[in-house]
Amino acid sequence: MNERVNLKIKDLEIFVINVLKKCGLNEEDAKITCDVLLLADKRGIESHGVARLKRYVNGIKQGTIKINNNIKIIKETPVSLVIDGEGGMGQLIAYKTMKQCIEKAKKNLICFATIRNSNHYGIAGYYTLMALKEDMIGISLTNSAPLVVPTFAKDAVIGTNPISIGIPANKEKPFLLDMATSTVPRGKLEVHARLREPISKLWATDENGIETNDASKVLTNLIDRRGGGLSPLGGSSELTGGHKGYGLGALVDIFSGVFSSGAVGTDVYVKKGEPSGVCHFLGVINPEAFSGIDVIKKNMDYYIKMLKDSEKCSSQNRIYVAGEKEFESEKRNVDKLNIQDKVFSTLNLIGKEFNLELKIT
Amino acid sequence: MNERVNLKIKDLEIFVINVLKKCGLNEEDAKITCDVLLLADKRGIESHGVARLKRYVNGIKQGTIKINNNIKIIKETPVSLVIDGEGGMGQLIAYKTMKQCIEKAKKNLICFATIRNSNHYGIAGYYTLMALKEDMIGISLTNSAPLVVPTFAKDAVIGTNPISIGIPANKEKPFLLDMATSTVPRGKLEVHARLREPISKLWATDENGIETNDASKVLTNLIDRRGGGLSPLGGSSELTGGHKGYGLGALVDIFSGVFSSGAVGTDVYVKKGEPSGVCHFLGVINPEAFSGIDVIKKNMDYYIKMLKDSEKCSSQNRIYVAGEKEFESEKRNVDKLNIQDKVFSTLNLIGKEFNLELKIT
């Protein structure tokens, strides 16, 4: 039921790039998009990896994702950009915008970009990592399809709206937060529904807005728009701090959609077959704005070590910092990827369509 | 046990200003500090209001809070400041820094300040509100005494490290997030301990790092540094998303203490009777960096209305947005404040010491 196959990353890379080229992307754009997808798999975030290729291919075919991928600058100041993605590939819009933010932050210390009319951009952390590679502080936020129920509401109004912020370190791996503002992403409910396992009451609410253990019901309700959905970080109640997760999710909508005059809340993915309207917010801060890169890296090593060296609770022997598990996963997956059989089958179907082959090692 | 008294705000104001002047603050500084304290009470955040006056008075007496309240600029760029508070009053350091951030953001669109060697600055939202009054986007973060246990840890290593971000709106009240990154603040445990009521298992862990219902035990453990403490937003386990709250709390430490080369984690309030080393991060973004103030305000009205007008869950008849309850509390408390008997007694004790009187209306 949950079998997996091994693939050479090189093979998978060639395959994905060729699929995207057959869809009409040029060589460079296909390579960027492929890199975003594969990095998710390498970092163990399978829900955002090649498992999504089919969605992107379908989007391009249906015209909800355009392949004219030049970012249109609506407004530019020394420290900011307002971008219209014009319905292009989210990965390319975000990548190209982040490149500009990095250049501007090198010169002017800070650059923030708010982006409207884009599409799903993969893992938020990809763009934060771009900043980290340049010894910069990176910020990446995006709104998404309404799946999360605000505190005291019945219906899903806001997305799982992730927040990613990354800070460079020296000997330690960078601190890289990349978290949905819901307690869990939809994928977790899908896994539990498949295994018929009850979910935590903090994860979701039913069609009356009441906590539930039943993952299948929540997923069906979401598809049929009957009410209920994922709970914000902290759950559905104020008692457990759910209003805070709701506040953070709304904040992501504001930075992405309100600041860019794009889509927010239920206006994102409002109608099947139409452009999604997804909005992002990207930012780069040059450490020279503060104590400077060398000092900040040294301070980060000290702080990360303080966290990791502190005493463990009785059931654990290790304390992690944000991004650490993903960096270790990336290090393990240098040559090969172990992907779900189900995902491999989907890739093969895409391959057949485009007359491309993908081998198991 | 939980009786309350009514006070005229005008009387309370004169009293607090006079106490602070007797402590050595000049007229202007006393007025600013008083305003930060009283606004907390007006907004219903009693834990950060005049109930804290005694702590500040004691701090000044013991020399852990200096009354030389000029902010020392360590580094300045067109878009940033690094400030050394030199152990002064947190409220004054933050107020004066925020003033400068607003001026710089008016000119250069963005200004971020990281501040070391400060002290407890009251409600984080006060400084965000300063930006909102100027039609600017405000950010206010601070680290604090280590009370929160990182995921998989045994001991409290990081503070309740609040995040406040405010966005102006037009007809609607501004969106004003002001949240501790722990599930609840320590004050909530104190209330439950007093009433001998069990707490939610998501709030805290015991001396072995295991979830507990016993508020008294957690508080005693924290005082004796025996292990355990408050849980991050999402609780102590990854299952309920606690690693996300932990990540957010660490982020606040990084922006405040790492960027300014100040104190972080267990180095904050490291020793009784010594300077606290509290660090802040303040930021102002001029809406003209993005779609402009008029458009953003209009977009905010639309978004806030979308959230509030969405369907309610079965047990509720109203959906709130961040800050709304506090704005309504502020509106109610224009002339009078209803404060706890216990707090009134403490104020009277301070009054006796300085030969100042505080009347009940």
Measured CA to CA in angstroms, residue A339 lies from A9, A194, B36 at distances of 11, 18, 55
Chain B residues with beta carbon closer than 8 angstroms to that of A291: 75, 82, 114, 259-261
Q: Pairing mode, if any, of strands A110-118 and B278-285?
A: unpaired
Mean pLDDT of chain A: 96
Contact pairs from chain A to chain B, CB under 8 Å: 268
Phi and psi angles of residue A188, each rounded to the nearest 5 degrees, phi first:
-65, -35
Measured CA to CA in angstroms, residue B28 lies from A301, B20, B32 at distances of 41, 10, 6
At A2 the pLDDT is 67
Q: Under 8 Å CB-to-CB from A338, ≥6 apart: which residues? A: A4, A5, A6, A7
Chain A residues with beta carbon closer than 8 angstroms to that of B112: 110, 285, 289-290
B338 token code pair: 């209803």
Cross-chain residue pair A82–B154, CB shorter than 8 Å: no
CB A135 within 8 A of CB A161: no
B67 token code pair: 């009354």
Per residue in B290-301, is it b (16+ CB within 10 Å) or e — as a string?
Answer: bbbbeebbbbbe
Cross-chain residue pair A312–B152, CB shorter than 8 Å: yes
Residue B137 CA to residue B112 CA, distance in Å, equals 12
Cross-chain residue pair B177–A316, CB shorter than 8 Å: no
pLDDT in tens, B204-214: 999 999 999 99
Classify the C-alpha dihedral A142-A148-A149-A150 as positive or negative: negative
pTM over the 0.95 mark: yes
At A205 the pLDDT is 98
Measured CA to CA in angstroms, residue B165 lies from A254, A255, B103, B138, B353 at distances of 11, 11, 18, 6, 39
At B2 the pLDDT is 67
Q: With a cut of 70, which residues of chain B have pLDDT below it?
A: 1-2
- Residue in chain A closest to B76 (alpha carbons) equals A289
At B357 the pLDDT is 93
At A360 the pLDDT is 86
Position A357, amino acid: E
Chain A residues with beta carbon closer than 8 angstroms to that of B300: 254, 258
Nearest to B303 among A241, A253, A319 (CB): A253
A270 touches chain B (CB under 8 A): no
Single out the residue of A148, A134, A150 nearest to residue A182, CA to CA: A148
Measured CA to CA in angstroms, residue B145 lies from A248, A308, B84, B154, B262 at distances of 23, 18, 19, 16, 14
A301 touches chain B (CB under 8 A): no
From the CA of B229, how many Å to the nearest CA of chain A? 12
pLDDT in tens, A90-124: 999 999 999 999 999 999 999 999 999 999 999 99
At B271 the pLDDT is 87
Domains and CATH numbers, chain B: 185-230 (3.30.60.50)
* Window 208-227 of A, Cβ < 8 Å to B: 208-210, 227
Give the SS3 label for residue A304: helix
Chain A residues with beta carbon closer than 8 angstroms to that of B78: 108-109
At B66 the pLDDT is 95
Distance of CA A90 to the CA centre of its chain: 11
Cross-chain residue pair A154–B311, CB shorter than 8 Å: yes
Flag whether pLDDT at A1 surpasses 60.
no
Chain A residues with beta carbon closer than 8 angstroms to that of B80: 109-110, 289-290
Single out the residue of B74, B130, B89, B94 nearest to residue B282, CA to CA: B94
From the CA of A38, how many Å to the nearest CA of chain B? 24
Phi and psi angles of residue A156, each rounded to the nearest 5 degrees, phi first:
-75, 120
Flag whether pLDDT at A44 surpasses 80.
yes
* Window 18-47 of B, Cβ < 8 Å to A: none
Number of H helices, E strands in chain A: 11, 11
Q: What angle do CA B164, B167, B171 make, to 5 degrees?
A: 135
Phi and psi angles of residue A55, each rounded to the nearest 5 degrees, phi first:
-60, -40
ipTM exceeds 0.95, yes or no? yes
Classify the C-alpha dihedral B271-B273-B274-B275 as positive or negative: positive
From the CA of B10, how many Å to the nearest CA of chain A? 33
B248 touches chain A (CB under 8 A): yes
From the CA of A268, how many Å to the nearest CA of chain B? 12
Residue A243 CA to residue A148 CA, distance in Å, equals 12
From the CA of A159, how many Å to the nearest CA of chain B? 12
* Window 107-126 of B, Cβ < 8 Å to A: 108-110, 112, 114
CB A163 within 8 A of CB A125: no
Average pLDDT over residues A189-196: 91
B23 token code pair: 């402590």
B17 token code pair: 């200003």
Give the SS3 label for residue B152: coil
Give the SS3 label for residue B74: strand
- Which long-range contacts does B45-48 make (Cβ < 8 Å, 24+ apart)? B45/B123, B45/B326, B46/B339, B46/B340, B46/B343, B47/B185, B47/B187, B48/B122, B48/B123
Nearest to B154 among A158, A227, A313 (CB): A313
- Residue in chain B closest to A299 (alpha carbons) equals B258
CB A140 within 8 A of CB A48: no
Chain A residues with beta carbon closer than 8 angstroms to that of B234: 183, 233-234, 241, 245
Nearest to A153 among B150, B157, B312 (CB): B312
Position A179, amino acid: M
Chain B residues with beta carbon closer than 8 angstroms to that of A298: none
Give bridge partners of residue A115 from the DSSP assignment.
Answer: A83, A280
Q: Where are the beta strands (DSSP E) in A180-332?
A: 204-205, 229-230, 278-285
Give the SS3 label for residue B138: strand
Position A323, amino acid: G
Q: For tokens 């106490």, name the residue.
A: B19
Cross-chain residue pair B234–A239, CB shorter than 8 Å: no
Single out the residue of B352, B349, B344 nearest to residue B12, CA to CA: B344
Residue B148 CA to residue B264 CA, distance in Å, equals 13
CB A265 within 8 A of CB A146: yes
- Which long-range contacts does B343-346 make (Cβ < 8 Å, 24+ apart)? B343/B46, B343/B50, B343/B51, B344/B5, B344/B7, B346/B51, B346/B53, B346/B54
Position A108, amino acid: N
CB B272 within 8 A of CB B301: no
Phi and psi angles of residue A80, each rounded to the nearest 5 degrees, phi first:
-155, 160
CB B154 within 8 A of CB B266: no
- Residue in chain B closest to A315 (alpha carbons) equals B152
A244 touches chain B (CB under 8 A): yes
Q: Calculate Rg over the CA atoms of chain B.
A: 20
DSSP for A117-184 reads: EE---S-THHHHHHHHHTT-EEEEEE--SS-BPPTTBSB--B----EEEEE--SSSPPEEEEE-SBSS
B270 touches chain A (CB under 8 A): no
